[in-house]
């Protein structure tokens, strides 16, 4: 209705409609002003950077746009695209799909695809970093630290060393005061570096060598790597149980280097050394609140940690050892210099950023440990419920335990399920599960026998969902009574 038409209306409405353009004018002016001069977007300016600086970004625009374009590729929640991934025929980055998903956008679930619970790939933390993309992104310039040298001795970033100490203090899982820190390309590199550094020097005056041992079930890398790199100074000598019994008790001059994985891979238990007088390498890969209660800070002389299980960035290949003895520290540095000249400086930069984010969120909203613990304890509880109604399969027993980090008694949240096949005829447990569409890791390689097999609980949500489905249907085939119990879950 135009104002002219409105004047056939009652007089009050007529005058109101005649003044309408005048009333609208201020609003329209305000709207135009807002469009022309939008208010500054409030965003979290990184500490130490003036907000104005953000308007002046020059050379990072293209890289940032490229990174965001890749992150925006739709992979249906069952995959993701990467900056260095393959390019599809339309020139766009293509999706890399989760196991069992296919198609351009990873939306096709392959029928009868086996649930893959084999490797310890820590992708359960991927959603955490996707949710905190802005906090954790790093821009690497073309001239970032091109030199062999860094600002710290022995090819390490002093900032990263400092932040690792702060992290241990904030989490309360290890005491680093008065101890040295060395970096490795994953903790895997540090294992052999430690064995060599702890063994007698390879000179003519020394005849004894080190016997490297572990208690079953143990992380198989210790044996495989020690056997591969066997030198004149050390040798893989198998299980602690073989040496602990009286008949094979070693002479006092025998050197033992004992790997103690706590919490243990595969069964999640907190472990102690077995052989009296052994030199112990405490592998604390899983001594973080997402996987385990932290009863008290570890104060051991040799402790090894890895970012692979802390932040989940196994790809970055970053581990560190906390060392009490200066002589061992010096030998380690010599090994790392001759072996790889230190850890990639790009990796150190990325890990520094991740560790800073983790520290900033400790015991606050969006704490990675809270996220990790919630995810893994739920996964464990679901698997436990299904297996508790089975007489054919059993799962390791882990009690609730007091955790100083959460300051409460907490349920278990182990990285792995350690399954035993209870039926006499199911001697090869991994083969039994494979028949039911579940890929697991046989207990043979953990020196625990084929009746046991390991399930990874730290992979993607898709892997976990499929694993639970397959187990549910396997257990439901047992007996009618079991079927009824499962329906109640
Ligand atoms: C007990 C244990 N230690 C060390 C590692 C390897 O760590 P990294 O990736 O740092 O070499 C693993 C990996 O699964 C592990 O389970």
**The pLDDT of residue 3:** 42
> Could you tell me which residues come within 8 angstroms of residue 255 by beta carbon, excluding any fewer than 6 positions away?
199, 200, 208, 209, 210, 211, 279
**For residues 55 and 471, which has the higher predicted lDDT (pLDDT)?**
471
Tell me what the mean pLDDT of segment 195-206 comes to: 77
Nearest CA to ligand 1 atom 2: 285
Q: How far is the CA of 304 from the centre of ligand 1 (A)?
A: 10
Closest CA to 76 of 57, 93, 95, 60: 95
Considering all CA atoms of the chain, what is the largest pairwise distance in Å, rounded to the nearest integer?
117
Report d(CA 100, CA 111) in Å as an integer.
8
Q: Which of 225, 260, 268, 309 is the pocket-test mutation for ligand 1 (most atoms within 8 Å of CB)? A: 309
Closest CA to 332 of 194, 158, 230: 194
Query: Does position 1 have pLDDT exceeding 80, yes or no?
Result: no
Query: Does position 422 have pLDDT exceeding 90, yes or no?
Result: yes
Based on C-alpha coordinates, what's the Rg of the chain?
A: 29
| Ligand 1 atom closest to Cα of residue 306 | 10
The chain-wide mean pLDDT, for the chain, equals 90
- The 10s digit of each residue's pLDDT in 11-64 is 555 555 566 555 565 656 555 555 555 554 445 666 666 667 667 789 999 999
Tell me what the mean pLDDT of segment 295-301 comes to: 98
Query: Does position 137 have pLDDT exceeding 50, yes or no?
Result: yes
**The pLDDT of residue 7:** 45
Return the CATH number of the domain spanning residue range 61-136.
2.10.25.30
Please determine, looking at this structure, whether the domain spanning 153-361 carries the CATH number 3.40.640.10: yes
**The pLDDT of residue 432:** 98
- The 10s digit of each residue's pLDDT in 229-274 is 987 788 898 899 888 875 555 565 679 999 999 999 999 999 999 9
Tell me what the mean pLDDT of segment 127-147 comes to: 97
Fold of 368-487: 3.90.1150
- The 10s digit of each residue's pLDDT in 317-343 is 999 999 999 999 999 999 999 999 999
**The pLDDT of residue 368:** 98
Long-range contacts of 104-113 (CB under 8 A, 24+ apart): 105/74, 105/75, 105/76, 105/79, 106/75, 106/76, 106/77, 106/78, 106/79, 107/76, 107/78, 109/78, 112/437, 113/437, 113/466
Q: Please report, rounded to a whole number, the percentage of residues in the chain having pLDDT higher than 90.
A: 78
Which residues, listed in sequence order, are joined to residue 322 by a DSSP beta bridge?
A: 181, 303
User: Which among 28-32, 198-202, 384-388 has the top mean pLDDT?
Assistant: 384-388
CA distances from 211 to 36, 227, 280 (A): 75, 11, 12
Give yes or no for a contact between 284 and 303, defined as CB atoms under 8 angstroms apart.
yes
Q: How far is the CA of 313 from the centre of ligand 1 (A)?
A: 12
**The pLDDT of residue 91:** 86
Nearest CA to ligand 1 atom 12: 285
Report d(CA 67, CA 60) in Å as an integer.
11
**Cis amide linkage into residue 263, ω under 30° from 0:** yes
CA distances from 157 to 129, 153, 182, 187, 348 (A): 23, 8, 11, 17, 7
The burial of 58, by beta-carbon neighbours within 10 Å (0-12 exposed, 13-18 middle, 19 or more buried), is given as: exposed
> Could you tell me which residues come within 8 angstroms of residue 100 by beta carbon, excluding any fewer than 6 positions away?
109, 110, 113, 114, 115, 116, 462, 466
Query: Does position 394 have pLDDT exceeding 80, yes or no?
Result: yes
Query: Does position 483 have pLDDT exceeding 80, yes or no?
Result: no
Tell me what the mean pLDDT of segment 86-95 comes to: 90
Query: Does position 455 have pLDDT exceeding 70, yes or no?
Result: yes
- The 10s digit of each residue's pLDDT in 150-191 is 999 999 999 999 999 999 999 999 999 999 999 999 999 999
Using a 6 Å cutoff on CB, does residue 136 contact ligand 1? no
Report d(CA 395, CA 417) in Å as an integer.
7
Instruction: With cut-offs at 50, 70 and 90, classify the pLDDT of residue 2.
Output: very low
Using a 6 Å cutoff on CB, does residue 316 contact ligand 1? no
Using a 6 Å cutoff on CB, does residue 312 contact ligand 1? no
Give yes or no for a contact between 488 and 388, defined as CB atoms under 8 angstroms apart.
no
Residues spanned by CATH 3.90.1150.10 within the chain?
Answer: 368-487
Residues spanned by CATH 3.40.640.10 within the chain?
Answer: 153-361
Q: How far is the CA of 145 from the centre of ligand 1 (A)?
A: 27
Report d(CA 244, CA 247) in Å as an integer.
9
Tell me what the mean pLDDT of segment 452-478 comes to: 97
Report d(CA 181, CA 308) in Å as an integer.
17
Whole-model pTM? 0.88
Query: Does position 198 have pLDDT exceeding 60, yes or no?
Result: yes
**The pLDDT of residue 392:** 98
Token pair of 259, please?
A: 């790997």
**The pLDDT of residue 119:** 96
Report d(CA 2, CA 8) in Å as an integer.
11
Give yes or no for a contact between 289 and 403, defined as CB atoms under 8 angstroms apart.
yes
Give yes or no for a contact between 98 and 462, defined as CB atoms under 8 angstroms apart.
yes
Instruction: With cut-offs at 50, 70 and 90, classify the pLDDT of residue 377.
Output: very high
Q: How far is the CA of 165 from the centre of ligand 1 (A)?
A: 20
Query: Does position 4 have pLDDT exceeding 50, yes or no?
Result: no
Residues spanned by CATH 2.10.25.30 within the chain?
Answer: 61-136
């Amino acid at each position: 209705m135009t104002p002219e038409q409105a004047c056939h209306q009652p007089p009050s409405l007529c005058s109101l409609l005649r003044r309408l353009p005048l009333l609208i004018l201020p609003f329209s002016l305000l709207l135009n002003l807002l469009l022309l001069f939008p208010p500054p977007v409030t965003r979290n300016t990184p500490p130490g950077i003036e907000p104005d600086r953000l308007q002046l970004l020059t050379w990072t625009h293209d890289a940032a746009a490229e990174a965001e374009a890749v992150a925006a590729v739709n992979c249906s929640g069952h995959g993701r695209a990467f900056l260095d991934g393959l390019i599809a025929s339309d020139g766009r980055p293509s999706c890399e799909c989760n196991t069992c998903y296919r198609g351009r956008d990873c939306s096709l679930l392959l029928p009868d695809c086996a649930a893959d619970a084999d490797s310890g790939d820590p992708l359960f933390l991927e959603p955490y970093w996707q949710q905190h993309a802005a906090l954790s992104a790093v821009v690497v310039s073309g001239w970032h630290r091109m030199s062999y040298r860094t600002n710290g001795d022995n090819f390490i970033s002093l900032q990263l060393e400092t932040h690792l100490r702060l992290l241990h203090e904030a989490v309360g899982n290890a005491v680093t005061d008065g101890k040295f820190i060395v970096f490795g390309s994953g903790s895997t590199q540090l294992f052999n570096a430690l064995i060599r550094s702890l063994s007698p020097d390879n000179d003519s005056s020394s005849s004894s060598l080190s016997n490297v041992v572990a208690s079953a079930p143990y992380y198989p890398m210790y044996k495989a790597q020690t056997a591969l790199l066997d030198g004149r100074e050390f040798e893989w000598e198998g299980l602690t149980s073989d040496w602990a019994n009286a008949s094979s008790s070693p002479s006092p001059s025998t050197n033992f280097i004992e790997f103690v994985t706590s919490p243990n891979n595969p069964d999640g238990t907190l472990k102690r050394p077995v052989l009296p007088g052994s030199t112990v390498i405490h592998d604390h890969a899983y001594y973080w609140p997402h996987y385990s209660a932290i009863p008290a800070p570890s104060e051991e002389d040799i402790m090894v940690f890895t970012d692979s299980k802390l932040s989940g960035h196994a790809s970055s290949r970053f581990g560190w050892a906390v060392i009490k003895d200066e002589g061992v520290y010096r030998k380690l540095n010599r090994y790392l210099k001759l072996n790889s000249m230190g850890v990639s400086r790009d990796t150190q930069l990325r890990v520094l950023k991740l560790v800073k984010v983790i520290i900033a969120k400790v015991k606050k909203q969006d704490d990675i440990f809270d996220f990790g613990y919630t995810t893994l304890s739920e996964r464990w509880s679901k698997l436990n419920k299904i297996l508790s109604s089975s007489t054919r399969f059993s799962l390791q027993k882990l009690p609730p335990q007091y955790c100083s980090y959460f300051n409460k008694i907490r349920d278990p949240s182990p990285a792995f399920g350690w399954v035993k096949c209870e039926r006499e005829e199911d001697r090869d447990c991994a083969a039994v599960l494979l028949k039911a569409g579940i890929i697991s890791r046989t207990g043979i390689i953990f020196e625990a026998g084929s009746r046991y097999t390991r399930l990874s609980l730290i992979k993607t949500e898709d892997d976990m969902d499929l694993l639970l489905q397959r187990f549910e249907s396997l257990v439901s085939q047992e007996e009618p009574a079991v079927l009824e119990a499962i329906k109640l879950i």
